[in-house]
Every structure is written in C-alpha cells, then in structure tokens.
Amino acid sequence: MKLTLLPVNKCIDFEQPKPLKFFADTGIEYQCGANGKCGKCRVRFVEGAPEPSTADTNLFSPTEIEQGWRLACTALLTRDATIEIPSTTATVEMTQHADSDTATHRTGIAIDIGSTSIYAILADLDSQKALSTMTLLNMQTLIAADVMSRVQFAMTNANGNDILHKTLRDEINSICANLCEQAHISPDIIEVVTAVGNPVMLHTFVGSDIRPFGTAPYEGQWTDTRTESARDIGLTALPNAMVHMLPQIRHIVGADTTAAIFATNMDTRDETILLIDLGTNCEIALSTGGELRATSTAAGPAFEGTNITCGMRATRGAISSVFLTRDNSIDITVIGGGEPVGICGTGLADAIAILLNMGAITGAGRLLPNDLSPVPQIIGVDKKSNKPCAHLTDKVFITADDVRNLQLVKAAVRAGAEMLLDDAGITWTDINHIFLAGAFGQAVNPRSIARIQMLPLNTIPVTRAIGNAAATGALKALLAWDQSLPRLNDIHRRIKYVDCVRNEDFQEQFANAMSFAK
C-alpha cells in the first residue's frame, strides 16, 4: 500500500493497516499528543479517506467530512491514500542556506534532539557554512509528552526502550536523508555527526536503557563524551559517519546545556552570565567568578504551544507577538502574515503580559469574568471549560487554564534561577547578561518575560534572546571537533550540578514565584 503526501508529492510504502500518526516522516504536528483533543492535525484525504472517527464528527461539518477532512491522529490507513497537508498542520521546516558544491568537501550534521522538537543542520566542514537545516516534531511525543513520561513508558512496557529508540532512530534517519536530498549530496559523504540533547534523549538515541532514570539515584549509563559508529546505533542513512555525543552534566541536565555554554563562551568570559534554555525541560546555567553551575526544572511545553487552548508551534499562522496600539486596543503579528490560526509561546507571553497591564488578569493569576473585567469587550466564555477567556481575535483566545499553565511554567523557571543564584551567593543585580535560549528564546520580548515575573523587572536591560544555543553549540563543535573537545570536557569537569528537586527550599521558591504582581 502507498501513502502520498501533498503538496510535496512524497510517497511512503506500508505493508499493513497503520494509524497515520505512526508515519514518522509526514511532518504533521500533534499538539495534544495525538489524543484527538486539539483539532490541529487536520488533513484532507484526496483519495482513500477512512471512516470518520468520533473526534472527526465532533470537529468537522458533514460537508467537510464529505470533502475528506480528517484528524490525522485518529485516521487509520487500510488502503492506498493521498492526503493534502495544510501549511498550518505541517511541522517540517527546511531551509537551504548555501549552494552546495561538496563533491570534494567534507560534510557533517549537527543535531539537537529536544524532547518536543528535533533540529538538524547539514554543514560543509571545509567552507564552515551551513548547507541546509530542518526542524521536526519529535515523534516520541506521540508515545509520551515529556521525558519522565517516556521513562515511565520504558519501565512499564516490556519493549518500551526498543519502541522509543526505534521511533527516534527512524525519524533522525529520515531527517538526515532529507537534509542530504535538499542539498543534492549523497549521504555516503557525511563524515561526522555531533548530537546534543538531555540525557534521556541521548540514551534513547543510542538504544541504551532509560529505566534507571526512573529510580534512585536517577542516573544513566554515561555522562562523558561518547563516540559511536552511525551504523552501530542504527543511523543507517549515514553509513560512513561517526557520531560524537557531547558530554552531559547530570541525570537531567544534558549535552544540550553543555553545548549552550560552549556556544555562548560562558566558560571563558569573565562576567556573571545566566543562561535559561526554555523548553519542556528548562535548563539553567550560571557562570560567575570562574565557576559554572547548572540545574533543571520541569517547566512543561507551554512555551512551545502545547497544552494551550489555541497554542501551536512558531510556524506559519501563529500569533508571534501581541501589543497595544495608541488607542489601547490589542494588535498582533502573525508568522507568514494572513489570518491567525493559533498562538505560539512568544505570543502567549506577550498576551498575558498585556492582559496583566490592562487589569484583565490579577496578580494572583485570575482571569476576571466579563462583569468584573476592566476590558469586558474582549472577555468571553470558553465553551469547553465554562471559564472566562480573553479574545485576541474572533478565533484565537486565552483561557483561564492557559493563564494557569503559563503561571506554573514561569514559576518553575524563576524558582530554578533563584536556586542557582542562592547557591552562588549572588543576587539579580550582580548579573551582567541573561541569555534566553531555545526555540522560544529566539524571538521572545524580554519586557513580557519580566512583566509576567519570570525574571525581575530590573533585569530587562541585560536580557536578550539568543535562539537555539544548543544547536549553535553542536554546530560549533561539528565544525572543529578536535579543537572543541578539550573545552567541552573542561566544561563537563568544572560545572557544579544544583539539584532543585531534592532541595527543600525549591517548593518555597516555587510558591513565591507563582505571583504575577510587580
């Protein structure tokens, strides 16, 4: 049987009935973990439409059902099918950066394996140029949303480790093949890969057992730099490559943090620098007085648009910024222009900051109902929860539950940062630079971050977004591996891990950080 994807005209063969969500290289985004709740994985079957599911009939009109619209997460393919994937549903983002005349050049790939997204860069090692990049939803999210849920999956399923490894292996093989195809080069000439990610992701990548992360002392099988043949770990798309995994810091602070420190030169600069890598797991690093510290907090995926009512990743159609006009009305910026279909993390932070300034949200985090709000014209009622919601457009709105989700995330980040500062014996006023990293950290407004009290207001002048520092560090290491390795190992040796989870002061810091009040 054959699945054809439009508009890319890509064909995928399969031998037996298979849920559409288990095809690793369709590029379809499943915001709610493929549970049929968010309605954002809509696709149109041009041919071979399956019977509509209950979720389909709840979301689509009879006319849309007749036209072939289905939710990808509930569609079971039992025959040849052709589907059309709208741009707002696709998660694959590919960019060609340079003309690739690499017949005699050395090439390599840097990969940042995030819990939610995977980002890869194909580079010419001789010219030191990126040839193409690709970002894709980590398909493990269909199995379990976060790292610890995946550990639990491995612990409670006999083949859990194998399933997670195969899911990630197949996806990264597909990514590497697509990068090479886009750059018009043979995968056979890829010599080296650098890989970063949190410890669970790297262990899953090579097929190591992740169950020890679920029981004390919560440690994996290695933290040092590790090198493997691509073939030996199942990366068959690159038959001649060697894979270098950067050193990890501790059981929940991984090589992605090492790479971010390396990318920003925190280990060599004589300044006090706080790095916050905002993702499903938020890693925080501090350099001061020649010392390095790091910690991690379970922030959740709200900044990546997940578990938010109208949330989506920062792709075409997402509201990426929200601001007030001179007449105090709300205006928005939409990625790619046109009508918005949802809101990404940066837009969410802006929106809640503005709603706080308007008085629509209290310092305790309550979204006021219409009869109590100073801006009743934008307040409605969310039909699912029967709670207040604030409309940014007719179709995109912020609910009381969304406010609560962001409140929990920002409190976890703020509490983790406070723990590092306390351990170093410094205060916020001692910091020279604050770097916000990660996909969310690429375009976030520091004023919004300060207004929601994720950071103190007086840190605005020293705060800036730096984008995906982990991927930047992985690329930097790829382009000069032999020269980079001593520094990477030195970072690994010097850094002190501060355990928030086992620190009795963390819960108090977390509770204090819940407030939105200035």
- 139 or 33: which leads in pLDDT: 139
- Measured CA to CA in angstroms, residue 174 lies from 7, 91, 171, 313 at distances of 18, 14, 5, 21
Per-residue confidence band for 99, with pLDDT thresholds at 50, 70 and 90: low
- Residue 156: φ, ψ to 5°: -110, 0
* HEC readout, 447-483: HHHHHCCCCCHHHHHHEEEEECHHHHHHHHHHHCHHH
A 10 A CB-CB count for 409 gives: 26
Residue 320, Cβ density class (10 Å: 0-12 exposed, 13-18 middle, ≥19 buried): buried
Question: Do 12 and 22 contact (CB within 8 A), yes or no?
Answer: no
Parallel, antiparallel or unpaired: strands 242-245 and 190-197: parallel
What pLDDT score does 32 carry? 64
- Measured CA to CA in angstroms, residue 139 lies from 169, 206, 213, 398 at distances of 10, 16, 20, 27
Per-residue confidence band for 55, with pLDDT thresholds at 50, 70 and 90: confident
Q: Determine the average pLDDT of the residues in 289-298.
A: 92
What pLDDT score does 218 carry? 86
Question: Do 102 and 183 contact (CB within 8 A), yes or no?
Answer: yes
Portions of the chain given CATH number 3.30.420.480: 93-245
Q: Using one digit for the tens of pLDDT, what is the confidence trace for 448-486?
A: 999 999 999 999 999 998 989 999 999 999 999 999 999
- Measured CA to CA in angstroms, residue 257 lies from 190, 218, 284, 461, 495 at distances of 25, 18, 8, 24, 11
Q: What is the DSSP letter of 409?
A: H
Q: Enter the CATH code of domain 2-84.
A: 3.10.20.30
Among candidate residues 384, 382, 405, the one with its CA nearest the CA of residue 308: 405
Q: Which of 216-219's residues contact partners 24+ apart within 8 Å by CB, and which partners?
A: 217/251, 218/251, 218/252, 219/251
What pLDDT score does 516 carry? 94
Q: Using one digit for the tens of pLDDT, what is the confidence trace for 159-218?
A: 999 999 999 999 999 999 989 988 889 999 999 999 999 999 999 999 999 999 999 888
| DSSP percent split of the chain into helix, strand, coil, nearest 5 | 35, 25, 40
Question: Do 496 and 281 contact (CB within 8 A), yes or no?
Answer: no
What pLDDT score does 26 carry? 75
Q: Enter the CATH code of domain 93-245.
A: 3.30.420.480
Q: Using one digit for the tens of pLDDT, what is the confidence trace for 167-184?
A: 999 999 999 998 998 888
What pLDDT score does 421 carry? 96
Q: How many residues does the chain have?
A: 518
Among candidate residues 417, 427, 425, 401, the one with its CA nearest the CA of residue 449: 417
Residue 377 sits at the vertex; the CA angle it makes with 371 and 379, to the nearest 5 degrees, is 60
Give the residues across from 95 on adjacent strands: 133
Per-residue confidence band for 496, with pLDDT thresholds at 50, 70 and 90: very high
pTM: 0.83
Q: Determine the average pLDDT of the residues in 284-288.
A: 97
Mean pLDDT of the chain: 89
Per-residue confidence band for 338, with pLDDT thresholds at 50, 70 and 90: confident
Q: Is the dihedral of CA 342, 346, 350, 355 positive or negative?
A: positive
Give the residues across from 423 on adjacent strands: none
Residue 119 sits at the vertex; the CA angle it makes with 116 and 122, to the nearest 5 degrees, is 165
Q: What is the DSSP letter of 275?
A: E
Q: HSE-up of 479 (CA within 13 Å, CB side)?
A: 17
Among candidate residues 255, 109, 236, the one with its CA nearest the CA of residue 173: 236
CATH architecture of 267-300+409-513: 2-Layer Sandwich (3.30)
Angle between helices 469-479 and 255-264 (to 10 degrees): 80
A 10 A CB-CB count for 394 gives: 9
Portions of the chain given CATH number 3.10.20.30: 2-84
Q: Determine the average pLDDT of the residues in 12-17.
A: 88
A 10 A CB-CB count for 337 gives: 9
Per-residue confidence band for 351, with pLDDT thresholds at 50, 70 and 90: very high
Portions of the chain given CATH number 3.30.420.40: 267-300+409-513
